[in-house]
Structure 1
């Protein structure tokens, strides 16, 4: 066990809260005003981790907080002679199946080479053969007409290995994908070049909380936030008015730009994946 002095752990908690507030407070202001942002709000609406949960700090398993109380920190903690610590045995006992599933997914994903040939076509498959009124982010126009958008999908094809992206494809787009991802095949198909697999490191991190330190959860959130930006810049939506210039994957230079960014994200994701595995 590592023992953190009262001043040390409170400083860490405050630093985490201030970091997260920079992400959470603009989202909460928009929510109160009834406004929607297709990029900045996604991680708070797609994932189940609430802003208050992201803001709450945990030291991770194996750390004793001197001068703390169980009442202050919550039911996942227990008292020790030197202070308070995460009750890791109890938490692991409740989540053993989930933890084993996450470990298997992370291990197998890390063991595969990154595939960089999808060029973000999953977002295009989500609007394939839809009108402007039918698309998910209907407040924002498409860069191309529905017919032109469909032509790009049909010309480029779709190579999506991620089930949670594939399940949002329109019905006509699903047969165009070279794979048929399912939840049961997730361990088999996920690979470290996939933007959504790397974005989901945030999901696996918060599902392991409070066994992992909140700084790691926040690091995964920061990566997911940057990935979401590329995801929507490469999408068929025109978000230039929001300050997001398009990555035009319908062109050769755009595809090269996308693949380079995808490789950078794979490189950033790899140590986070290893940190999660080490925590498990």
Structure 2
């Protein structure tokens, strides 16, 4: 019963911080009454039930506070996506090709995830053996994203071999847009759920780990100031288109 009382006292300021009403401790009162009456077994049972109830009330109060904060972030999360939605609207209005860019999007995700999971990695901090490996690990993931992006654009170029130069270049730009947009959607979703700073709670660790990987992938489009990979993607696609046309792939 002492443990139940200690837990009850501990959660008083926590409930206030979460903006929740004071937690109910009827079972703790029952435990005290049972102990006073000399019924030790009933006291233990009631005390354990109170601990369980306290934990449940805390979980509900925590979720309510998280949901309230999520509602506060919802408008900004929507605003982030508006430019991408506008581009997709314009994309559809102009009746641009979907096939090659979407296949490029699929190719990117297949290659990137194959490079990641193929090495036995998971979305967990356990992939680090020592702290000094953290920075090299994340740098390597940016390189993986660049490799996946280049392969995806080559695929788009090959698929655009029968298109004119303008359409082939446009397909590569649209593929890059779709890849980037999907990453932003995932980053935005994590922001909506957990924010980007965690003052009083620990977010879902697997989603948090993936969030950082997604952010790193966006840097693949422009990894360094003097390495604007995004700017040369159309030329890579045109090169792949020219080679595919010369060797008559898929004729």
Is TM-score (shorter-chain normalized) higher than 0.5? Answer: no
Looking at secondary structure, tell me which structure has more helix per residue.
2
